[in-house]
Each structure stands twice: as C-alpha cells, then as structure tokens.
Amino acid sequence: MKKITVITGHYGSGKTNLSVNLAVKAAQEGKKVTVVDLDLVNPYFRTADFREMFADMGIKLIAPDFANSNLDVPSIQFDIEQLAKSEGCLIIDVGGDDAGAFALGRFAEALNSYGDELDMLYVINQRRYFTENSGEAVSLMFEIERAARMKHTAVVNNTNLGCETTPEIIGRSAEFAEQTAAAAGLPLAFTTCPEELCELMDVKNIFPVKVYVKPLWDL
C-alpha cells in the first residue's frame, strides 16, 4: 500500500467495505493507519460505523461533523493535507459518483503533489445499476475525475451481490473488469472476493475481503 490511497466509485459499489479491509490489513502489517471518511453525500457515514473496531486496532478514524447522525449538513473540520504529511498511510473513502468527489477536489492540489506515493482506486461492481457494462463504468469514472480534479491510477473489481455472492458471479465479472480497465487505460489492481470463497476461485490476482458493511436488516 502506498502512503495515500483514495477510494472512489459508484454508489453501492463497495468503496467503504474495501476501505475498511485495506485499513485492517495495513494495521495487521504493523503500519500506522488513518482513515478519512469523506462521504458528504450520505449523512450516515458508514466508515464511521467502525470507530470502535478501528480504535481497538490502533487505526485513527477521521469523519466530518454529524457523521452517524440524522443531520444532512455535514461539514469538514479537518485538514487532509496535514493528515497526509503525518507518519503512516492515509486511506480516503470518498462519496459516490461525481457528487461525492467534489469534496475531494478541495484537496486535489495537495494530494496530487504526492505523485507516485498516491493511489486513486476506482471501484467497480458489475451488479450495480448504471455500471453494468464497461462503457457506463468508464464514463462515470471520468465524471468523478473531473469533479475531483484528480486521475485514477488503477481499477478494482469488486463485483458482488452481498450475501448472495457466488464464485460464478465473481468469475463472470472478469471480462467486464478487464474491458473496463483497458478502456480506462489503467491497470486492474485486483479482484476482491469474500474470504470464504477464495479457495473456490480461478481468477488471478484475488484480494480476500471480509464483509464488514452489511445491510441494516443483517445487523
């Protein structure tokens, strides 16, 4: 993992679950980790749901005012530029689509200055509306880049159907993921897979994940 990792994508693509998994993995490797919840679109900031777990693992969580409340006017009362300068790695969980990416654009100049120390990962999920084919997915990616004033460095295939995910669903998404990455002119960083299904997969570059973010009816 690089010093700064920015996670973007379509609403419901699984950005937050990936952010949590990356943070946990880095902490388990002994790294100092800070997670910034930059979702100003959804007032129920899902990354903030894991504050207690993060604290137990030594992961620092930064979230806007009113996170985990029913107020719809969240505000940023922290400086991502200063957080980026801190020791360890920084993971930024960005709100969905271009609407969520506008908040990231506020820090574009400072973040872009990190060059090769920065990854901006575009998370795709073929099973989400409006990103079911590579053309739609790439079009949305460019909209996010324009809003954020930043360029993605890689694509992450996070195709799933929640608790109904099967090896077949992930396997069938491989062509879609490769086509999307090729159309975007970016490498396909990895394909996520629930830990319990990894042994059943025949897809290269698998990244095992735990399903931390669940529907309210599964909590």
CATH number of the domain where residue 103 is located: 3.40.50.300
**Per-residue pLDDT at 214:** 72
Report mean pLDDT in 10-residue bins for the chain, 219 residues.
96 93 97 90 63 93 66 62 91 91 92 97 95 96 97 98 93 96 98 95 92 65
pTM comes to: 0.92
The torsion angles phi and psi of 151, rounded to 5 degrees, stand at -110, 140
Alpha helices in the chain (DSSP H): 15-28, 51-57, 80-85, 97-105, 108-112, 134-148, 167-172, 174-184
**Per-residue pLDDT at 215:** 61
**Per-residue pLDDT at 39:** 79
Burial of 58 (0-12, 13-18, 19+ CB in 10 A): exposed
**Per-residue pLDDT at 47:** 65
Residues 15, 124 contacting (CB under 8 angstroms)? no
Domain count, the chain: 1
**Per-residue pLDDT at 75:** 56
Residue 192's domain comprises: 4-218
Alpha helices in 7-117 (DSSP H): 15-28, 51-57, 80-85, 97-105, 108-112
Amino acid at 136: E
**177-to-30, 56, 131, 198 alpha-carbon distances in Å:** 31, 35, 11, 18
Q: Left if phi > 0, otherwise alpha if psi is -120 to 50, otherwise beta: which for 50?
A: alpha
**Per-residue pLDDT at 219:** 46
